[in-house]
């Protein structure tokens, strides 16, 4: 064979569908999906979300039916977001054992015990000002919010959530939640922190879906889009962790 032609020919392993399947390294199916569900209390009908065509807010009264449907088609995990009608300055409904966070987790696990329930853990859907924690002099009090986020996590876990998914972007939130769960003897509950969270308009559709009417912005606690080094530090130290 002339030296101008390649001796190694990877295309040999790609010449048929069967060969490609045998040698592929990544597979993707329903087991890999986590379905976000937006559950609204105090309503009877599904609600359209203009910024998410085809996605609907689910009435709490019909949540069990939707979870059954997810389980039937082979979906193994859901992430739950609540649309609250009981908002206050600190989002106290989230640590009420009969509040919306707890009721959603309880309904999901009662309906499909094998479904993995990931509870979005934040306050923006439950505060009257739309911020992700305790507002103090026009900014969020990080450490006061950590106390409350631990309380919310414990309530969700006791109600049946398998995984706590904090999205509040508070410094130290994973550590605070882990400590709260362990102190409550909920050591088997996992934490899935979101990756680095930037102050971005791309969250707009989720804010609409969750009924969060924000006063101001979240730039003091979410990451600066132009701050790559700070974002890398954030992702390795406080977010992007499984605990």
Is 17 within the bounds of a domain? no
The CATH number of the domain holding residue 220 is 3.20.20.70
Determine which of 20-24, 138-142, 191-195, 212-216 has the lowest per-residue pLDDT on average.
212-216
Tell me which of 166 and 12 has the higher pLDDT: 166
Total domains in the fold of the chain: 1
Question: Which of 35, 29, 67, 60 lies closest to 46 in space, CA to CA?
Answer: 60
- What's the DSSP call for residue 112? -
Q: 52: domain range?
A: 29-237
Q: How far is Cα 192 from Cα 49, in angstroms, rounded to an integer? A: 26
Is 83 within the bounds of a domain? yes
Dihedral in degrees, nearest 10, Cα atoms 169, 170, 176, 181: -40
CB 67 within 8 A of CB 109: no
Is 10 within the bounds of a domain? no
Is 118 within the bounds of a domain? yes
Task: pLDDT band for 234, please (50, 70, 90 cuts).
Answer: low
CA 186 to chain centre: 19
Determine which of 32-41, 120-129, 230-239 has the lowest per-residue pLDDT on average.
230-239
From residue 187, alpha-carbon distances to 97, 177, 190 in Å are: 19, 11, 8
Is 146 within the bounds of a domain? yes
pLDDT value, residue 190: 97
How do residues 40-64 score in pLDDT, each as one tens digit?
999 999 999 888 888 899 999 999 9
pLDDT(89) > 70: yes
CB 136 within 8 A of CB 96: no
How do residues 134-178 score in pLDDT, each as one tens digit?
988 888 999 999 999 999 999 999 999 999 999 888 888 999 999
pLDDT value, residue 150: 98
Tell me which of 241 and 201 has the higher pLDDT: 201
pLDDT(208) > 90: no
Q: How far is Cα 97 from Cα 185, in angstroms, rounded to an integer? A: 16
Q: Quick one: 63 exposed, middle or buried, by C-beta within 10 A (0-12, 13-18, 19+)?
A: buried
Q: Which residues contact 108 (CB under 8 A, 6 or more apart)?
A: 63, 67, 78, 80, 115, 117, 160
Is 23 within the bounds of a domain? no
Is 16 within the bounds of a domain? no
What tokens appear for 89 in the block? 């300055």
Task: pLDDT band for 241, please (50, 70, 90 cuts).
Answer: very low
Dihedral in degrees, nearest 10, Cα atoms 62, 166, 192, 26: 70
Q: How far is Cα 180 from Cα 95, in angstroms, rounded to an integer? A: 13
pLDDT value, residue 185: 98
Is 130 within the bounds of a domain? yes
């Amino acid at each position: 064979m002339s030296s101008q032609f390649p001796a190694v020919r990877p295309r040999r392993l790609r010449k048929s569908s069967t060969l490609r399947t045998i040698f592929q390294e990544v597979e993707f199916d329903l087991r890999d999906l986590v379905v976000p569900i937006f559950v609204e209390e105090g309503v009877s009908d599904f609600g359209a979300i203009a910024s998410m065509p085809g996605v609907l807010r689910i009435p709490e009264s019909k949540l069990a039916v939707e979870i059954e449907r997810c389980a039937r088609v082979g979906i193994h995990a859901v992430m739950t977001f609540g649309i609250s009608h009981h908002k206050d300055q600190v989002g106290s409904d989230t640590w009420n054992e009969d509040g919306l966070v707890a009721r959603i987790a309880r309904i999901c696990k009662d309906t499909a015990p094998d479904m993995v329930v990931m509870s979005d853990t934040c306050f923006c859907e439950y505060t009257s000002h739309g911020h992700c924690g305790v507002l103090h002099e026009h900014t969020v009090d990080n450490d006061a919010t950590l106390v409350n986020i631990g309380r919310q996590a414990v309530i969700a876990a006791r109600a049946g959530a398998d995984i706590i998914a904090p999205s509040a972007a508070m410094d130290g939130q994973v550590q605070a939640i882990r400590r709260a769960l362990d102190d409550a003897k909920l050591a088997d509950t996992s934490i899935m922190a979101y990756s680095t969270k930037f102050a971005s308009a791309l969250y707009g559709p989720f804010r609409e879906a969750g009924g969060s009417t924000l006063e101001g912005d979240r730039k003091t606690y979410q990451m600066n889009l132009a701050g790559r080094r700070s974002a890398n530090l954030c992702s390795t130290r406080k977010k992007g962790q499984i605990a």
